[in-house]
């Protein structure tokens, strides 16, 4: 089993924001066999450390949010990928994340270790994200804030997630939970639409796995862009869904009184 080492946030930030010795730390990270262990504290400290650099003029305005969201985007896409990837041992799944570690090799490299919920097999998944500009200001969940298609989850897998989440939302008796799941389903459908160019059908390069590519070749009509657009047209506008999810979250916070922590 691979091991991980701990770096303080002051060392970790050198991989994201240029400092005098950033190249030395990057070289050290690439040469060492272990990945970096990333905790929740790292994420909090890294965010505020990047904001501090921005306020001092050490990085360009808006860079702190973009650099941090690049990491967050990668984590998000990785979770969805694990939902639609079958286990090699039992052919089922899904995978449950047990740990997340970050390193860098020519871009942002994230190693996620996961366990199959069916047979208990464990394995690492490595994700490389080169990222781009991201949109700032939304508090609700996003997957990929850019217009570029994912390099982790393919078109067929995004559609599978859309169908799965839509069915789950329809059968959920909890309206708040159903709205959240429906919002996530719509996000997945939007991700699928990013794979289309000028033609009605996508290129075969939009399918990363043999299973989804075979499905496309056997049933291309299921991947017609107009079909996806028609499904999208039946759903509420994404900003409207996001506002509903945000209201639900705010209502939930109001129900939790400050003294409940001590009970």
Look at residue 1 and tell me whether its pLDDT is greater than 90: no
Mean pLDDT of 146-151: 82
Look at residue 199 and tell me whether its pLDDT is greater than 60: yes
Q: How much of the chain, in percent, has pLDDT values that exceed 90?
A: 23
Mean pLDDT of 169-196: 91
CB 5 within 8 A of CB 36: yes
- Which residues, at least 6 apart from 14, have a Cβ–Cβ distance to it below 8 Å? 21, 22, 25, 26
Q: pLDDT per residue over 28-38, tens digit each?
A: 765 665 555 55
CB 148 within 8 A of CB 154: no
Count how many Cα atoms sit within 13 Å of the Cα of residue 238 in the half-sphere of its side chain.
15
């Amino acid at each position: 089993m691979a091991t991980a080492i701990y770096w303080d946030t002051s060392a970790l930030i050198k991989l994201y924001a240029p400092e005098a010795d950033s190249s030395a730390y990057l070289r050290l990270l690439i040469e060492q066999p272990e990945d970096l262990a990333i905790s929740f504290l790292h994420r909090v400290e890294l965010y505020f450390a990047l904001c501090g650099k921005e306020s001092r003029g050490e990085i360009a305005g808006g860079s702190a949010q973009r650099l941090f969201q690049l990491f967050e985007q990668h984590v998000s896409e990785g979770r969805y990928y694990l939902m639609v990837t079958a286990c090699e041992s039992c052919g089922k799944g899904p995978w449950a994340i047990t740990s997340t570690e970050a390193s860098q090799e020519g871009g942002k490299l994230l190693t996620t270790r996961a366990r199959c919920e069916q047979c208990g097999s464990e394995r690492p998944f490595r994700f490389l994200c080169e990222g781009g500009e991201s949109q700032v200001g939304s508090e609700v969940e996003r997957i990929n804030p850019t217009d570029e298609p994912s390099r982790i989850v393919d078109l067929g897998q995004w559609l599978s997630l859309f169908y799965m989440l839509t069915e789950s939302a329809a059968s959920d008796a909890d309206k708040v939970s159903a709205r959240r799941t429906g919002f996530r389903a719509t996000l997945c459908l939007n991700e699928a639409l990013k794979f289309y160019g000028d033609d009605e059908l996508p290129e075969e390069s939009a399918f990363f796995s043999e299973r989804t590519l075979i499905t496309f070749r056997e049933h291309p009509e299921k991947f017609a862009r107009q079909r996806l657009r028609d499904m999208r047209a039946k759903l509420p506008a994404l900003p409207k869904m996001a506002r509903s999810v945000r209201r639900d979250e705010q209502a939930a916070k109001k129900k939790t009184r400050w003294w409940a922590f001590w009970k």
